[in-house]
Amino acid sequence: MTKRQTKAIILFARDPVAGKVKTRLAPFLNQDSILELYTRFLKDSIDKICGVKTADPFIGVAPSDSSGYFSQEIKNQETPPEVFLQEGEDLGERMFNAFQARFDEGYERVVIIGSDSPSLPVAYIETALDSEKDLVVGPSTDGGYYLIGMYLKPVNVFADGIEWGSEKVLQQTLDRVKKYKCSLELLPPWYDVDREEDLKFLKTHLELIAQAGLDNIGATSEFLKGLDI
């Protein structure tokens, strides 16, 4: 992909393989339904990052792209994202390496989002891309974060043992922000969808959004309409 912008937006995602994604939704959903749900999350998330016209889109995939999903899905985009494999021993190292690579390519602001928040407002991403703070963090209600962004240079706030997957992730990261004396902007809190109760909340939320005539989350909404939960 030819660099067009000074900003980059990266979707961090897992290769959609049955039994390897959204595992905490089993046995509430069967494996086929979980896989279909996750590919809907991915489609909406890819549409979202490609709809941000002020940033070049990227997709960081782990652990591999063996399913071929991403190479097929990006063909539908006017500006196809560049797909790369995440590199590193844990999530923090993989994110740091992704930040470093984009800065090395000349980007000034780089933002990473996850694939577990299909209802995330685009406005939050745009706010992060416009920030001139060293670090932008979007807190998640489960104690983690749905977005993290850096400006001009990578700051390794992931070092020294973040307990990934725990409710301590956000606080441990913020502790390192203080340690490195970074300037920080916090976005409004949002939510990830990992468990049964999260999925039920998402379905209700999307139904209310649609009733209010606001933006709909296309692929995910369509799937959840037919899901009896």
> Which of the pair, 97 or 179, is modelled with greater confidence?
97
Strands (E), 20-81: 56-62
First to last CA, the chain: 41
Q: In what order do the strands lie in the sheet with 7-14?
A: 82-85, 56-62, 7-14, 109-113, 145-151, 135-139, 184-186
Read off the pLDDT band of 2 (50, 70, 90).
low
Read off the pLDDT band of 214 (50, 70, 90).
confident
Read off the pLDDT band of 184 (50, 70, 90).
very high
The answer on pLDDT for 1 being more than 60 is no
One DSSP character per residue, 155-168 reads: --TTTTT--TTSTT
Query: How would you class 92 by CB atoms within 10 Å of its CB: exposed for 0-12, middle for 13-18, buried for 19 or more?
Result: buried
The topology under which CATH files domain 7-192 is Spore Coat Polysaccharide Biosynthesis Protein SpsA; Chain A (3.90.550)
Domain coordinates of the chain in residue numbers?
7-192
pLDDT at position 127 is 98
CA angle 161, 15, 188 (to 5 degrees): 55
How far is 62 from 166, CA to CA, in rounded Å?
20
pLDDT at position 3 is 66
**pTM, rounded to two decimals:** 0.95
Q: What's the rounded mean pLDDT across residues 199-209?
A: 94
Q: Over the stretch 65-106, which tens digit does the pLDDT of each residue have?
A: 999 999 999 988 888 999 999 999 999 999 999 999 999 999
